[in-house]
Amino acid sequence: MNNDAQSIQTSVKDYLMKTFLPGEDPESLTPDTPLISGGILDSISTVKLVTFLEEQYKVEFQAHEINSDNLETLTDIAKTIQLKSAARA
Amino acid sequence: MGVNVASISVPGVQQDSRSWSVGGLLKLGTVAIQFALVALVFTAVRLESEAFRQVLYISVAAFPINHLLPMRFRLPFFVLLSVGIIIKILGVESAAWVLGIGLVFIGLCHVPAPAKVRIGLVAAAALALAAFRAGWADAPWPGGVWPILGAMFMFRMIVYLYDLVHKSAPAGPWRAFAYFFMIPNVCFPLFPVVDYQAFCRTYYNEDAYKIYQTGIKWMLRGALHFILYRFIYTFLLVGPEEVKGAGDFFQHMVTTYLLYLQVSAMFHTIIGFLHLFGFNLPETNHHYVLASSFTDFWRRINIYWKDFMMKVFFYPLFFRLRKRGTTQAMILATLIAFFATWFLHAYQWYWLRGAFLFTTPDVVFWLILGVLVTLSVWAEARSKKKVVPTSGPESAKLAIILALKTVATFLTITFLWSLWTSDSLMQWQAMLLQLRHWDAESVLKIGLACVTLGVAAIAVGRDQWMIGAAARQRTTKAKPFDFWRSAAANGAAGMFIVSLALAEVQSHLSPTMTAVLESIEAPSLNARDEAALQGGYYEDLIQVDRFNPELQAKYSRQPLNYFDEWREAMNTKRGDYLGVELTPSTTITYAGITYTTNEWGMRDKPYTREKQAGVCRAGIIGSSHVMGWGVNDSEVCDAVAETRLNAEGLPCELLNFSVNGYDPIQKTITLRDKMLDFDLDVAILFCHRIEKQWIVSHLVQRVKSGLEIDEPRIQKALAASGVTQDMGEPEIKVRLSGSGSELLQWAFTSFADTCRENGIRSVWIFMPEKGRVSFIDRDIKELFACAEAAKFDLILDYSDAFKGYPEKELAISDYDDHPNALAHTLLAGRLFETIKTNEAVFAGGSRPQGQTSAATLAQREP
């Protein structure tokens, strides 16, 4: 699994577009689009996204990590995954 | 193995936007002017408490200082300002207790010990406080400290500890003090649960002027919500006892739900205010009326509460349970989170009011809502998002489905809300029984409301996150921030609201519009409104005067135990239905006002029982407004009118029998037992808007006190309602509400009949208050209908007695809307005109007992 920031963002973006934003223009979802405060991720979709991230990148989230600091944008998500992957290694 | 990701992220990229350039200072000045305009709006329309308005003006002055300080000094400055304001509002003693106890709690969070020990210490301290709150031991601090202490620590302490233990936000003394003691919490016992992480992360995290402009906009939105709330409360609200059919029930459930506007008004105001000091916090509510599912409702109505529950309950529970499968874990976590929501609402009630809330409507409401949201979560967890077409028939179909879902959600939520706000399950059931009665007006009312809501859902939903991803995409492309456009919009909105409150502007509006505006400007419920008070969880927590008079006194500058000392001196208790009367031959000076009663217990000069020949003698009976609460003896309307009549050669005596708090039954008893002894030519009955509610309220008190009531008509009403002394007050009130109209009619008819039987002309006068508008107020309409049915000789409407004078110029003070000396002079003018222009009614002379006034009048007329 390629864990550089760009590839994580691409993979997560694909997942978000397919699961929560079907039919949307992929260009509208930028690395800085607010996902939680912008209403794209609600509690249920956040839980689904976290499950996806855990399965895809073999990382584990704790409940207190489900917040805007870690999941607000594609950039934040990529950073979070990289840190978790690094810690696991 | 989890990683503490947040600990290495930078929470809140603080942007120091100080600029001494002309452009920067111009922007700063523009924001300061807008902030001052917001303060003016709150003053002009008398929104929120006097205390909060003071805080606003102090903050307007502090705002530029905060902005011009280097970033590292801003948070300490905010803390010092917050502490100063706490001292100003609560006084040194109470403030010292709040700050002292608060510092102990914050200190316990930072004891150098394992997390479990710290949590245990905080929990033990909270339990000790809870014991004091329960009254198991006498707390050494004043009672007004409790709601503020509760508001600052009951939820934020949980959030703070959570973030501290998980190291998910930065810690430090200034941040902690700012978080717990933040302005304007001291003015709002019901406060949004601000998240500590968000509090730190959003502090000056983008352009300061953009943050400030958002704050101004939200505060103005808050003001608008307050105004809408007052309009709904004054003109549209239908109380449980007024529900007579399906249309009434629909209006009741919608209007009680819309009273939540007061909460959203407060939350917008509070969070907007915090923006002015750099806290770029997220919105608190989002078009909750347009929720299209129960989960959607849960996400919109109180976003801070939802986030708090997700953070502290839902996510931890979900992660513990997810071995059972994602969907099952979600459902179980939701159910438990709703149980916690119910418990925490009761817990909040405990800290603010001092008793644990446990009522059947409350339990049933949360149970049903919890099940509905859980089912909604289950459905959403299983569903997959589909491509949403932006045009064509499929799009139209989706729009209609959205409208139908929104209407269905709204109807369900308002239906449940009516249950939640009911005093008892029985009261709610009694309203439901009225659903049997349908008429064309009900169908039209409900139909129109549903169609309007559906259309609004489609119109707004297209630009919000509701209708689908296509619309959402548009919202993610935010327009670039334009400071000057934003300032112009805020300035125009603020000036528009202020201008509507100006007497000069109101004088150019229609009388209807002026009356409506005056009603909306009324700051609070008056004593009579209290009798018909609409209850509800939030209403009972926001109106501090309902549960903590000590704190209310600090908010409004109203003396503590206001009225009590006066009552002590001027009211003598009686063991009969009257309950109290004015103590005869007494003079007291209270709050600078002299009150004198004559030997007969009238707030009036001495009179003999027999009148002089050739003089017209009128007996006046009303309540505190006519008795002259808050004005000197010589300023009471009847005294002013009498002096003027005699000066103009119209010999007349106006005997004021009014007693504070009297309802129509008490006034009728007074006529029969006292007034008839004074050789009256005329008896004048003054009435206010909610006499009926007062009758019911007083009857409830008498049933609870076990008073023997010998009046057959009242006995009949009591027997028909089946009330007993051991029932709870809400149940007695529900049972007696159905008899309110009949008892009102009976009291009026008895009054007029008694006059007729004793050869006294009867006059009925509607007394204005707080700009009530009779043409849309059903209580006032009923009063007039009852007066007409009772066949008073003269029926008069004094609604326009105060025309042309702003409400605030006519009231005794900000916290007491009884008529002041000017208002009494205006009433006296009306009374003078009434007597002068109705000579036939007010002519003096004696008549044989038993002769009807109509016959007397017929004899006297040429």
pLDDT digits (tens, 9 = 90+) for B400-451: 888 999 999 999 999 999 999 988 888 899 899 989 999 999 999 999 999 9
CB B767 within 8 A of CB B798: yes
Q: Is A23 an interface residue toward B (CB < 8 Å)?
A: yes
Task: Please give the structure tokens belonging to residue B382.
Answer: 């299983």
CB B768 within 8 A of CB B799: yes
Sequence letter at residue B57: Y
Q: How confident is the model at residue B803, as a pLDDT? A: 80
On the CB side of B400, how many CA atoms lie within 13 Å of its CA?
Answer: 5
CB B821 within 8 A of CB B632: yes
Residue A32 burial class via C-beta count within 10 angstroms: exposed 0-12, middle 13-18, buried 19 and up: exposed
CB B431 within 8 A of CB B422: yes
Q: How confident is the model at residue B5, as a pLDDT? A: 31
Contacts of B379 in chain A (CB under 8 A): none
Q: Which of A45, A44, A43 is nearest to A20 (CA)?
A: A45
Rounded distance, CA A48 to CA A42, Å? 10
Place of tokens 């208050």: B769
pLDDT level of residue A40 (50, 70, 90 thresholds): confident
Q: How confident is the model at residue B844, as a pLDDT? A: 65
Rounded distance, CA A84 to CA A87, Å? 5
CB pairs under 8 A between A and B: 114
Q: Note whether B470 contacts A24, CB cutoff 8 Å.
A: yes
Sequence letter at residue B205: N
Write out B710-736 in H/E/C secondary structure: CCHHHHHHHHHHCCCCCCCHHHHHHHH
Residue B424, helix vs strand vs coil: coil
Q: Which of B696, B683, B749, B748 is nearest to B723 (CA)?
A: B696
Rounded distance, CA B442 to CA B440, Å? 5
Q: Domains of chain A by range and CATH? A: 5-88 (1.10.1200.10)
Task: Please give the structure tokens belonging to residue B707.
Answer: 């008073």
Cα B676 to chain centroid, rounded: 41
Residue A69: which of B11, B311, B318 has the nearest Cβ? B11
Helices first, then strands: H and E counts in chain A: 4, 0
For residues A59-76, give the mean pLDDT.
93
Rounded distance, CA B700 to CA B706, Å? 10
Q: Note whether B5 contacts A47, CB cutoff 8 Å.
A: no
Handedness of CA A16, B159, B548, B732 (dihedral sign): positive
Distance from CA of B337 to the nearest CA of A (A): 13
Rounded distance, CA B656 to CA B673, Å? 15
pLDDT level of residue A60 (50, 70, 90 thresholds): very high
CB interface of A with B, residues 53-82, below 8 Å: 60-70, 76, 79-80
pLDDT level of residue A38 (50, 70, 90 thresholds): confident
pLDDT digits (tens, 9 = 90+) for B469-489: 444 544 445 568 899 999 999
CB interface of B with A, residues 291-310, below 8 Å: 295, 299, 310
Task: Please give the structure tokens belonging to residue B308.
Answer: 């708090």
Q: Note whether B315 contacts A64, CB cutoff 8 Å.
A: yes
Tell me the sheet residues that pair with B582: B571
Element containing residue B220 per DSSP (H, E): helix B208-231
Q: How confident is the model at residue B11, as a pLDDT? A: 40
Listing from the earlier edge strand, what are the strands of the sheet with B682-687? B652-656, B616-621, B682-687, B761-766, B794-797
Looking at residue B233, the DSSP 8-state letter turns out to be I
pLDDT at residue A86 above 60? Answer: yes
Q: How confident is the model at residue B770, as a pLDDT? A: 56
Predicted ipTM beyond 0.85: yes
Residue of A nearest to B4 (CA): A65
Q: Note whether B469 contacts A79, CB cutoff 8 Å.
A: no
- Residues lower than pLDDT 50 in chain B: 1-12, 464-471, 473-476, 524-532, 771-775, 846-862
Handedness of CA B744, B749, B750, B751 (dihedral sign): positive
Q: Domains of chain B by range and CATH? A: 11-493 (no CATH), 615-860 (3.40.50.1110)
